[in-house]
Amino acid sequence: MSRKLFIGGNWKMNTDRDSAASLASGLVEAIGSVEEIDVAVAPPSVYLSAVGEVLKGSNISLAGQNCWYEPNGAYTGEISTDMLLDVGCDLVILGHSERRHVLGETDELINRKVLKALDAGLDVILCVGELLEQRQAGQTNDVVTRQVKIGMEGVPSSFSEKGEKGKKGLPERLTIAYEPVWAIGTGVTATPEQAQEVHAMIRSLLADMYDRQIADGLRIQYGGSMKPDNAAELFAKDDIDGGLIGGASLKVEDFASIIKAGM
Ligand code: 13P
């Protein structure tokens, strides 16, 4: 099964207004017309508008790094799905390990956000991944299974029209990013074999939860110290359908090389 690769750049809490805009314009120049691969960047929320302006007319999509599950109201500091749509986002990253482990988000909270975002018309990148001690204790599959099952509870296999993109099936609306926490920002990458093993497990879980066609169509990104020099061997694995890139997405050259490694 050949799925179109999907590569995202998660800028996390980095850049300032000028560097965000210039990173975006460098990316537009380097890879803005790439069609073989879906590409998105997720700048800090306060720079979404500025980056969105720069991305206009390119093939690079704009993503939020988080959202809240209520439509509006007394939620100081939070961002609604309508706000993300309003500033031009097509999608949102949810369940990132930094939100789980630094900010205490639970699977149940993440699930509410996933349902709200999909309903509002935002596509979702749902991040999952185990801690080092969980891997060492042989719990990787259990942890990731729980995160996928609870994170996607109540998510339908297809959607009636909502949002600008109209009616779409689940594989077009949701991507899973497998990001082993021990590999994020550490310089330690999962080996292609380690990543492939978990990706294949997630795909067979999706076949159980939905059906084989959805499982085969849904993209599973790898994230965790992906760099220009290890991207190609990861993308070569059957069940690795792209990447969610942190550090290396902050440099035009590195992010562009990773995209090119997937072409
Ligand atoms: P690094 O690529 O910096 O390890 O970050 C990965 C990540 O967390 C992407 O969401």
pLDDT, tens digit (0-9, with 9 covering 90-100), for 67-119: 999 999 999 999 999 999 999 999 999 999 999 999 999 999 999 999 999 99
- Of 9, 14, 19, 79, which Cα lies nearest the Cα of 44? 14
Predicted pLDDT at 187: 87
Which superfamily, per CATH, for 6-262? Aldolase class I (3.20.20.70)
The contacts of residue 208 (CB under 8 Å, 6+ apart) are none
- How is the chain split into domains, by residue range? 6-262
Predicted pLDDT at 177: 98
Return the ligand 1 atom nearest residue 127 CA. 10
Structure tokens at 25: 């314009």
Instruction: Give the global pTM.
Output: 0.97
Tracing tokens 């020099």 back to the chain, one arrives at: 229
Catalytic residue among 96, 105, 130, 199: 96
| Rounded Cα–Cα distance for residues 117 and 111 (Å) | 10
With H, G, I as helix, E, B as strand and everything else as coil, classify residue 99: helix
Out of 6, 7, 10, mutate this one to test ligand 1's pocket (max ligand atoms within 8 Å of CB): namely 10
Neighbour-count burial for 75-96, b at 16+ CB within 10 Å, e otherwise: eeeebbbebbbebebbbbbbbb
Structure tokens at 239: 């069940």
Out of 225, 229, 250, 254, mutate this one to test ligand 1's pocket (max ligand atoms within 8 Å of CB): namely 225
- Pairing assessment for the beta strands 6-10 and 38-42 based on DSSP bridges: parallel
Dist. CA 226 → ligand 1 center (Å)? 7
Which residues line the pocket of ligand 1, CB cutoff 6 A? 10, 96, 179, 184-185, 223-226, 244-248
Dist. CA 186 → ligand 1 center (Å)? 9
Predicted pLDDT at 160: 80
Structure tokens at 16: 């300032």
Predicted pLDDT at 91: 97
pLDDT along the chain (263 residues), means of 10: 92 98 98 97 98 98 98 97 97 98 97 97 97 96 98 94 71 97 91 98 98 97 97 98 98 98 96
| Rounded Cα–Cα distance for residues 215 and 230 (Å) | 26
- Of 43, 2, 1, 6, which Cα lies nearest the Cα of 173? 6
